C-alpha cells in the first residue's frame, strides 16, 4: 500500500469552486480501482490550503488513476483555481501504532 499526499493552495476567492469540484468527484475517485481511502484536509488559519490524502493498493493503481479521463477532467477543473504550484508526495507507512 502507498499513501498519496497532494498539497494545493487556491486563490481565496476560488475555495468554494474547488470544494464543489471535490464534492462532484470524490465518490468517483474513491471508487476508482485500487483506491482504498480518500480524504480532504483543510488548513485552518488561512483556509485556502488543502491536502488530499489517499491510500492506494500500489503505485500501478495510482498511475492508472493519474492517466484516466476522470483524473484529467478533475485536474483540468482544479488547476485553474491554484494560487501556487501544487506539491505531491507518494509515501509508504514507515511505522503505524496498533
**Rounded to two decimals, what is the model's pTM?**
0.93
Domains, the chain, with CATH or none: 2-91 (3.30.70.100)
**pLDDT greater than 90 at residue 98:** no
pLDDT of residue 47: 96
CB atoms within 10 A of CB 34: 18
Q: Give the model confidence (pLDDT) of 24-45 as tens digits.
A: 999 999 999 999 999 999 999 9
CA distances, 81 to each of 74, 90, 98 (Å):
12, 23, 39
35-93 residue pLDDT tens: 999 999 999 999 999 999 999 999 999 999 999 999 999 999 999 999 999 999 999 99
Amino acid at each position: 500500500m502507498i499513501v498519496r499526499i497532494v498539497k494545493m493552495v487556491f486563490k481565496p476567492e476560488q475555495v468554494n469552486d474547488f470544494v464543489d469540484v471535490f464534492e462532484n468527484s470524490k465518490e468517483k475517485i474513491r471508487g476508482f480501482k485500487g483506491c482504498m481511502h480518500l480524504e480532504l484536509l483543510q488548513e485552518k488559519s488561512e483556509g485556502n490550503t488543502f491536502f488530499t490524502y489517499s491510500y492506494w493498493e500500489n503505485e500501478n493503481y495510482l498511475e492508472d488513476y493519474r492517466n484516466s479521463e476522470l483524473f484529467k477532467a478533475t485536474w483540468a477543473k482544479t488547476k485553474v483555481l491554484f494560487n501556487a504550484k501544487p506539491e505531491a508526495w507518494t509515501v509508504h507507512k514507515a511505522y503505524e501504532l496498533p
